[in-house]
């Protein structure tokens, strides 16, 4: 049982720094204290928790199991406390400096970032933005470590534990080149399924997606002959061949592609913006998120 008698926030901050540095001298330097002072504080913490917390090791201090288990929740609590007591600072994009790190797939780049980023850079001329390919498996860890600040993903496959904001709902449409010989008249289910389909499989190699699930429920199966990793490549393929694909509607404008009605309810998905809780109240981050929301809202839904 922890003895909270004499609990001092400074002691907890010392513990937080000790667990990060794992060295009393370096922790003392970071805390602007002398080494003996931190040593005394560590002694008090040990009495308070009834645990050695950090044991002298070959190189610095080694945390006990209890100390290890305290590290993350303690850091989170202190960050939350800091944000709670820190007066909210306004973010001025005209004078702000810094680098934002974003992650998106090519769909997110084309539908969200292509319009939003130039406007953001105009408003915040001294800021930089780095966009990388979104990796769902490591997304949460990258955000936890601060490697990434904002990501764009489909809501259904978004990693748990992150803050999110819905941007828009997207639906798939059948697309092919304008003078495609088999798309000059309405399609029934059989003709749809016998077309040669391309699909995007971000992880590579997949031949079944949301459309195939809908078809399977209706007792049909389409002919997927090609799987590619990016929508950009997919659109280029459709323009120069007789291949067809179910493409998110927002990608069609500006291409040489034509959309066609399909004889079933085409699947849809929701795009969300994701970020870590530690950035939730950050004024700069809030401004960035709002700028992206405003940009998406200004674009509206595609006409077709």
Listed ranges 29-37, 74-82, 145-153, 260-268: which one lies at the site for DNA (CB under 7 A)? 29-37
- Contacts of residue 236, Cβ cutoff 8 Å, sequence gap at least 6: none
Site for DNA in 114-133 (CB under 7 A): none
CA proximity to 81, closest of 12, 6, 33: 12
d(CA 250, CA 111): 7
Q: Is 15 in the site for DNA (CB under 7 A)?
A: no
| Burial of 247 from C-beta contacts in 10 A (0-12 / 13-18 / 19+) | buried
d(CA 199, CA 234): 8
d(CA 108, CA 252): 14
d(CA 274, CA 281): 14
- Which CB atom, from 60 or from 302, has the smaller least distance to DNA? 60
Q: Is 56 in the site for DNA (CB under 7 A)?
A: yes
CA proximity to 234, closest of 107, 131, 140: 107
- Which CB atom, from 18 or from 243, has the smaller least distance to DNA? 18
- Contacts of residue 137, Cβ cutoff 8 Å, sequence gap at least 6: none
Listed ranges 31-39, 133-141, 148-156, 256-264: which one lies at the site for DNA (CB under 7 A)? 31-39
From the CB of 79, what's the least distance to DNA, in Å? 22
Token pair for residue 97? 């400096």
- Which CB atom, from 25 or from 268, has the smaller least distance to DNA? 25
Listed ranges 51-59, 156-164, 171-179, 218-226: which one lies at the site for DNA (CB under 7 A)? 51-59
Q: Is 186 in the site for DNA (CB under 7 A)?
A: no
Listed ranges 52-60, 85-93, 139-147, 269-277: which one lies at the site for DNA (CB under 7 A)? 52-60
From the CB of 87, what's the least distance to DNA, in Å? 21
Q: Is 97 in the site for DNA (CB under 7 A)?
A: no
Number of residues that bind DNA (CB under 7 A): 23
- Which CB atom, from 22 or from 171, has the smaller least distance to DNA? 22
Beta-strand runs (E) in 138-195: 150-154, 163-177
Sites of contact with DNA (CB under 7 A): 6, 10, 23-26, 32-37, 39-43, 54, 56, 58-61
């Amino acid at each position: 049982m922890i003895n909270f008698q004499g609990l001092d926030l400074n002691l907890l901050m010392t513990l937080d720094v000790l667990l990060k540095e794992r060295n009393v001298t370096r922790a003392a330097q970071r805390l602007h204290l002398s080494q003996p002072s931190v040593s005394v504080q560590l002694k008090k913490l040990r009495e308070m928790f009834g645990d050695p917390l950090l044991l002298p090791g070959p190189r610095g201090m080694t945390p006990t199991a209890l100390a290890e288990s305290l590290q993350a929740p303690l850091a989170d609590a202190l960050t939350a406390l800091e944000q709670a007591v820190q007066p909210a600072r306004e973010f001025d994009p005209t004078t702000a400096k810094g680098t934002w790190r974003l992650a998106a797939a090519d769909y997110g780049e084309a539908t969200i970032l292509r319009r939003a980023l130039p406007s953001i850079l105009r408003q915040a001329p001294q800021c930089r933005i780095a966009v990388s390919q979104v990796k769902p498996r490591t997304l949460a860890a990258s955000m936890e470590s601060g490697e990434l600040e904002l990501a764009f993903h489909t809501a259904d496959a978004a990693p748990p534990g992150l803050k999110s904001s819905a941007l828009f709902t997207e639906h798939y449409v059948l697309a092919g080149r304008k003078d495609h010989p088999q798309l000059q008249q309405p399609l029934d289910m059989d003709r749809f399924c016998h077309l040669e389909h391309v699909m995007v499989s971000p992880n590579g190699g997949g031949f079944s997606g949301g459309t195939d699930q809908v078809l399977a429920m209706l007792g049909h199966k389409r002919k997927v002959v090609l799987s590619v990793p990016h929508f950009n490549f997919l659109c280029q393929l459709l323009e120069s061949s007789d291949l067809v694909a179910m493409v998110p509607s927002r990608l069609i404008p500006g291409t040489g592609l034509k959309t066609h009605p399909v004889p079933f309810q085409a699947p849809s998905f929701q795009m969300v913006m994701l970020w870590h809780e530690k950035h939730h109240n950050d004024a700069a981050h809030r401004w960035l998120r709002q700028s992206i929301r405003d940009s998406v809202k200004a674009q509206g839904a595609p006409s077709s």
